[in-house]
Amino acid sequence: MSVLPLKCGYQPYAWGKPGDVSTVASLVGESDASKRYAELWIGTHPSKPAVVAADPDTTLASLLEKDSKGTLGEQHVGEFGAKVPFLLKVLSIDKALSIQAHPVKSHAEQLHAKDPAHYPDDNHKPELVVALTPFQALCCFRPLAEVKAFVAEIPALKNLLPNSHGLSGASDKESLRAALGDLYAQPASAVQAAIDAHKAVLLNAAPNGDVQQLPGLADRVFLRVESEFPGDVGAWMVYILNIVEMKPGDGLFMAPNEPHSYLQGDCVEIMAASDNVVRAGLTPKFKDVDVLLEMLTYRTDALEGVSYKADPSNPAQRYAPPEWCTEFALTAVRLGGGTTQADMPALPSAALGVVVDGSVVLNGTTLPRGST
C-alpha cells in the first residue's frame, strides 16, 4: 500500500469553533481566535477538493481518474465509477447544527428532480460520526412515554400542541407525527410566547440563577440551543428527540429518515457523497418542513441500533454501517499506552485518513498530526 499525502481545505461555517479551541484549526496549523473553523474536508467533493501535497495543482479527483482501476480497483470502479463515493470530515462544533434528516436514495432522486436548487444531487446521505472530544447530539425519537411526560410537565409545550398534546394516537408513529405537525404549524408569535414563558420558569427554578445547575439535561440544552437560535421552534425538539452524550471513541450512525442535530463537540464524520439535507429548524437556511415531517420514520427504538461504544482494548476499531450502506466504513487506529502498532484490516479499495493526534508511521512514511 503506497501513501499519498494530501492537502485539504476547511469550511469556516458560523457554527464552527474559534481557532484557539478548534480541532479543525489545529489540524490545518492555524489558531486565529477571530475565525471559525467548522469542517475539514478530505475527499474529492468539488466544493473543497483535496489536492496532492507535493503537487497542489493536481487534485485527488484528477489523479484517480487517470488510473481508476489501478488506484481504486476494478470492483470499486464497477460499483461507484472513478470517484470516491464518500467524504471524510473533521468537525468542530460550537453551535447547534440544524434539525435535519437525509432521504433514502429513491426519495433523493425525486427531490432532486423536483427542486435541484435545494437538493443538488440524486444520492442518499447516510453518515457516521466518532467523537474526538465529549460530544452531544440529538438523534432519533425518544420513547413516547418520555415525550408524554415532558408535555405534561411543560405547560408552554402543551400549549403548542393544541390538537395532539395527549399523544394518544393509534400508534407511536401516529402520535408523534400529529405532535410535530401541530408544533411546526404554530405561528412564530405563539412559539416565541411559549419560549418566553418556559424560559421564565426555568430561570426562576435555577439555583442561584445558574442555569447550569438545573437538574434536567433537556432543560439546560433547551436554554443553550434557544440562545443560539432565538425564537426558533426547533429548540423544542430537545424534549422530543434523544439527547445523546458521547465520550471520545463513541460512534453514532445517522440512518436515512431519522431526525438529528449535532449540538456540541469535535468529531470525525464520514458520509456518502451527497449534499441532500432536509431541514426543519435551528438554521437560517432553507427549511422544508412538510417534506421532513412526511419522510421521518417516527420510530422510538431507532437509537438502539445506531450507537457504537469506544473499545480501548482494540487498537484498530472498525465502525461499520449497516450492510446496505456500501459506500464507506471507518477504522480508528489508537496507539499508545504500550501499544505501538496496529494491523489494518484488508481494504477493498483506496482509503482516506487523517492523523488527529500524535504521529504515525505508515508503510515507512512518517505522518505527523494533521496529515491527510
Residues 6+ apart with CB under 8 A from 145: none
**Residue 232 and residue 219: Cα distance in Å, rounded?**
15
**E runs forming strands in the chain:** 6-7, 10-11, 17-18, 36-37, 39-42, 51-52, 55-59, 86-93, 100-101, 127-131, 135-141, 241-246, 251-254, 260-272, 278-279, 307-308, 316-319, 330-333, 360-362, 365-367
**Angle, alpha carbons 343-50-93 (nearest 5°):** 80
Whole-angstrom distance, CA of residue 67 vs CA of residue 268:
29
State whether the Cα torsion 279-125-30-267 is positive or negative: positive
Dihedral sign for Cα 4, 39, 344, 321, please.
Answer: negative
User: What nine digits make up the cell of 85?
Assistant: 463515493
Residue by residue, what is the 3-state secondary structure of 65-134?
Answer: HHCHHHHHCHHHHHHHCCCCCEEEEEEEECCCCCCEECCCHHHHHHHHHHCCCCCCCCCCCCEEEEECCC
Q: Are 233 and 287 in contact (CB under 8 A)?
A: no
318 is catalytic: no
From 279, 318, 334, 369, the catalytic residue: 279
Q: Which residues are catalytic?
A: 279
